Structure 1
């Protein structure tokens, strides 16, 4: 498991502090940050993110609702908006990560409760065990 995959999923499962993940993300170079943003978008797609997940995640993100990534995550179509977030300039990377990661926490939590119901075999849903 890659470091980014572990960190993102640990935050989603409450095993790692959100701010610690943001600090880690901000320590990366610009190219690596874009790669991580794309990775979070892939995870959001796998979790079947909804616009409601994005809006709920925004409330948890600590980002002002008027910054560009916040405005985009609350709009539909969700997948198209996430693509726009990934393409924002480096000055927006930290806010973009906060918004996308928060949306993933919401979407993945919903997926684990609704679809997996404790019986899934997704290894990334079992990081705190064993």
Structure 2
């Protein structure tokens, strides 16, 4: 698992405070938006139990609780479009939106993965990312 992936999972597991984690990711000299976006997309899609449309109550709850204004472009896209279409549209946004996209997706993963750890993975799961120390 790469460093950015470890950081994302540590943030999702509350081992790194969310705002500090965002700063850590965005200020990394090796920050690569596309790579970070793809990692978050992969993690989110795998944390959502409903694989037919990648929508769930925890996913919707996460979108509605993103700690940004609900009128910001990434949140509007996540709210108005199906999950797969929203991710395509997010990947096409300009660089000026990157920070808001990362915050939004990191928050969504934090919420959806927390639910997954508390339900499906409660008694152990073998996911190596849930075993990060």
Partner residue in 2 for 1:112 = 117
RMSD: 2.1
2:27 equivalent to 1:27: yes
Relative to total residues, which structure has the larger helix share, 1 or 2?
1
- 8 Å Cα contact 1:52/1:74 also seen in 2: no
In structure 2, distance between residues paired with 1:81 and 1:69 = 9
In structure 2, distance between residues paired with 1:89 and 1:28 = 20
Q: Give the length in aligned residue pairs.
A: 128
In structure 2, distance between residues paired with 1:100 and 1:119 = 25
TM-score normalised by structure 2 residue count: 0.83
In structure 2, distance between residues paired with 1:95 and 1:64 = 10
In structure 2, distance between residues paired with 1:76 and 1:113 = 28
SS of equivalent to 1:120: coil
* Aligned-residue offset at 1:91: 0.4
* Aligned-residue offset at 1:59: 4.2
- Deviations along 1:52-101, whole A, 9 cap, x unmatched? 43442234432110011011122341122122112211100010011111
In structure 2, distance between residues paired with 1:66 and 1:50 = 21
2:66 equivalent to 1:65: no
1:44–1:124 Cα change, 3 Å = same
1:101–1:89 Cα change, 3 Å = same
Any unmatched runs of 5+ in structure 1? Answer: none
Partner residue in 1 for 2:51 = none
Task: Point out the more displaced range, 58-67 or 22-31.
Answer: 22-31
Choose the corresponding residue for 1:92, options 85, 90, 97. 97
